[in-house]
Structure 1
Amino acid sequence: MNAKNTDFGTFAQDVMLGLNSTPKTLPSKYFYDAKGDKLFQQIMALPEYYLTRKEYEVLEGQHKQILTEIIALDKPFNLVELGAGDGMKTKILLRYLTEMNVEFTYYPVDFSGSVLEELEESLATEFPALNVNPIQDTYRDSLKKQVWENGKPNLILFLGANLGNFGMDEAKNIIDHLRVGTKKGDLVLLGFDLKKNPQIILNAYHDKQGVTREFNMNLLDRINSELDADFDRDSFTHWPTYDPVSGECRSYLVSQKSQVVTIGALNQSFEFEAFESIFTEISKKYSLSEISHLASLGGFEVKENFMDSEGYFADVLWVKK
């Protein structure tokens, strides 16, 4: 088990760099401590948050077609999942592969050690014979290291619209890492939230219950508790926006007044003007043509688009050329 707690030095350094930037930013990867993990599970169950339901529909209804290519190779392979989370969606694929007596090793990759520990426990209960090798790391670093590379074919999963959590330049960089981390014939299954009615998209990040707000505010709580800061969460408001041209939904924490925040671990104070914002998260929505273009940039071709009945979400299968 390669799980470990968030590195204090890295967390402190990233916070320092982000709050010294113009405009101010905080990395969304730090949403995911134990409390943040639980909040995100709540978000996925919200009526406004359609993404999880739609991807479940795709995987439950089309998992046999999705896995046809890798099973047809008739040889042991690596199933690598970038951003494994709780593994609930992936278990649909794992269950079918197990039923078909397919030989493979599952490599769940996630930045959150607590998530990986819980996933490993649940897999041991549900799939006791499954070969599992959890890896706590970022997407890019895990692709650089390729700890799973052993000459076997690879099916890499990047589900849940995780690629959308990066701007286009960063997404292209990750696709380039996928290019380097795969060989000819390898398969990649990526989840994409598709462009649609802007109000439907915005509602998904601005739920009436305020869970997404709490998810963002938890980042300030983490800085307070782990870095000895004095953020007053009540003086910040969570503000999501959506641009239908770029397809980018962005989240901000906006200071409601002029204030100074001190972070003891950094021995530094940060001034906020009234209504100055901290950029926390991006969730990009894609068109099918944009997805095809991304594939070509990485040396892949689109094998098939697997979509839900309303065309809200697509799990897209790429093959390395």
Structure 2
Amino acid sequence: MKNTDTSVAEFSINQQFCDDILAGLTASPKYLEAKYFYDTRGDELFQDIMNCAEYYPTKCELEIFTRQTEELAQAIIADGSAFDLIELGAGDAMKSTHLLRHLLNQRAEFTYVPIDISGHVINYLQDALPAALPGLQLTGLTGEYFEMLEQAAQLSQRRKVVMFLGSNIGNMPVTDARQFCVELRSHLTAGDSVLMGVDLKKNPKIILAAYNDAQGFTREFNLNLLTRINSELRANFNIEAFEHYPTYDPQTGSCKSYLISLTDQQVQLCGQTISFAKDEYIYMEISQKYTVQQADSMANDSGFKPVCHFFDSKNWFLDAIWKAV
């Protein structure tokens, strides 16, 4: 019976994957959903990206979490009341661990609630963090952000502090980001707060290099999604027939990545034939950059009040605390 359940679950996942990929590649213009970047190989490549010289966001935010831990912790502890510290898209919790350790040392009364779409990630955190941080109260949740926020709301009546780090808010267009913040506010009550990571506008060459690293990790990361589609959906993409192309517009703050078809070609996918013209593009992802004023405006427009700003030493990255009003 267990094997049958697993097969049904795998079929359901593959069917959703197939449906989403077909929806994107039959649209005009074509696109692929960034959430599918993260299979096992995608996770490895993203780690390589974060560690490469050009990719600054992780380093900048980690600097904030390691050098301003006390200030961050005090802003989160606030009036000293107990709270649930909820992290959306927790990943390996590398940055969060510094904060968690400090909160434990301060004897703050809290439960850490990591949320991630990957069950593997949550299982890892549930095993690793309590061992590394004795005394940590942890409840992991696997699933989509807002569905899991509803579950998190049922855990206790304590105030909520939601962390959305790594400039994940930049992984959506400005309009979608604002709507995300509005929906996030709808899951909170007055007095709850959000720690929002925002990548700031800066020299365009610095930004573009971060998404076009010399070692080619970002290129491989984007092309790996085609490899994943071939493997899991039995498609026949010729990976060599596509080229990674990043672009950054300093006026709008939009850094976007595309895959360009190098020739007229057809791909078999989920029983359908997808045609590509030479030089046709697939829109892959966005990494939106903001000014501090734009980030504050997004907070105010969404039912929050920005109360604290934390910057790295280069003023390239912002971690802002927003209070729900």
What is the TM-score when the length of structure 2 is the normalising length? 0.93
TM-aligned CA deviation for residue 20 of structure 1: 0.9
AA aligned to 1:314 is: L
Provide the C-alpha distance between the structure 2 equivalents of 1:148 and 1:51, rounded to a whole number of angstroms: 33
Q: Residue 75 of structure 1 is aligned with which of 62, 73, 81?
A: 81
Q: Which amino acid aligns with 2:295?
A: I
Look up the match of 1:92: 98
Number of equivalent positions = 316
Partner residue of 1:250 out of 242, 252, 256: 256
- Asked if residue 24 in structure 1 is aligned to residue 30 in structure 2, the reply is yes
- The aligned amino acid for 1:37 is D
The equivalent of 1:310 in structure 2 is: 314
Deviation at 1:36, TM superposition (A): 1.0
**What SS is found at the alignment partner of 1:131?**
coil
For 2:3, the equivalent position in structure 1 comes to none
- Write the deviation string for residues 1-32 of structure 1: whole angstroms up to 9, x where unpaired: xxx97922221111011011111000000011
- Structure 2: which 5+ residue stretches go unaligned? 1-8
Which residue does 2:49 correspond to in 1?
A: 43
Could you list the per-position Cα deviations for residues 255-306 of structure 1 after superposition, in whole angstroms to 9, with x for gaps in the alignment? 100000001xx21010000011111110000001110111011111110110
1:111 aligns with 117
Structure 1 residue 147, shift from structure 2 partner? 4.5
CA-CA distance at 1:218 after TM superposition: 1.1
* Corresponding position of 1:141: 147
Is the Cα contact below 8 Å between 1:156 and 1:189 reproduced in 2? yes
Displacement, 1:314? 0.5
Correspondence for 2:274 among 266, 270, 276: 270
Aligned-partner SS, 1:237: strand
Deviates more, 1:155-164 or 1:133-142: 133-142
- Work out the CA distance in 2 between the residues paired with 1:270 and 1:143: 37
Which residue does the alignment assign to 2:192? 186
Residue 217 of structure 1: aligned partner: 223
Work out whether residues 77 and 108 of structure 2, in 8 Å CA contact, stay in contact via their aligned partners in 1.
yes
Matched residue SS, 1:59? helix
> Are the equivalent residues in 1 in contact too, given 2:261–2:278 (CA < 8 A)?
yes
**Could you state the TM-score of these two structures normalised by the residue count of structure 1?**
0.94
Does residue 300 (structure 1) correspond to residue 308 (structure 2)? The answer is no
Alpha-carbon distance in structure 1 between the residues aligned to 2:109 and 2:39:
33
Cα distance change of structure 1 residues 311 and 288 upon mapping to structure 2, 3 Å threshold = same
Q: Share of identical aligned residues, percent?
A: 43
- Are the counterparts in 1 of residues 256 and 286 from structure 2 also a CA contact under 8 Å? yes
Deviation at 1:115?
2.5
Distance 1:149 1:244, change over 3 A: farther
Name the CA distance, whole Å, in 2 between partners of 1:137 and 1:124.
Answer: 21
Aligned residue for 2:126? 120
Separation in 1 of the partners of 2:228 and 2:318? 34
Amino acid in the other structure paired with 2:66: E
**Cα 1:242–1:159, aligned 2, differ >3 Å: closer, same or farther?**
same
Shift of 1:149: 5.1
Structure 1: distance between partners of 2:198 and 2:39: 25
Aligned to 1:279: 283
C-alpha distance in 2 between matches for 1:13 and 1:144 = 26
| Distance in 2 (alpha carbons) for counterparts of 1:136 and 1:253 | 30
Deviation at 1:307, TM superposition (A): 0.4
8 Å Cα contact 2:113/2:152 also seen in 1: no
Query: How far is the alpha carbon of 1:144 from its aligned partner?
Result: 4.8
SS where residue 68 of structure 2 aligns? helix
Q: Which runs of 5+ in 1 are unaligned?
A: none
CA-CA distance at 1:128 after TM superposition: 3.8
Alignment pair present for 1:289 and 2:293: yes
Shift of residue 102, structure 1, vs aligned partner: 1.5
Give the Cα–Cα distance (whole angstroms) in 2 for the partners of residues 214 and 118 of structure 1.
26
Residues 155 and 320 (structure 1), Cα distance of their counterparts in 2 relative to 1, 3 Å cut: same
- The CA deviation string for residues 76-119 of structure 1, in whole angstroms up to 9 with x for no partner, is 21000011111000001101011112221111111222322333
- Taking only aligned residues, the RMSD between alpha carbons, in angstroms, comes to 1.6
* Contact 2:198 2:318 survives alignment (8 Å): yes
Q: 1:172 aligns with which of 171, 178, 182?
A: 178
Q: Find the counterpart in structure 2 of residue 236 from structure 1.
A: 242
Q: Deviations over 1:191-215 (max 9, x none)?
A: 0100000000000000010111111
Distance in 1, Cα, partners of 2:183 & 2:140: 20
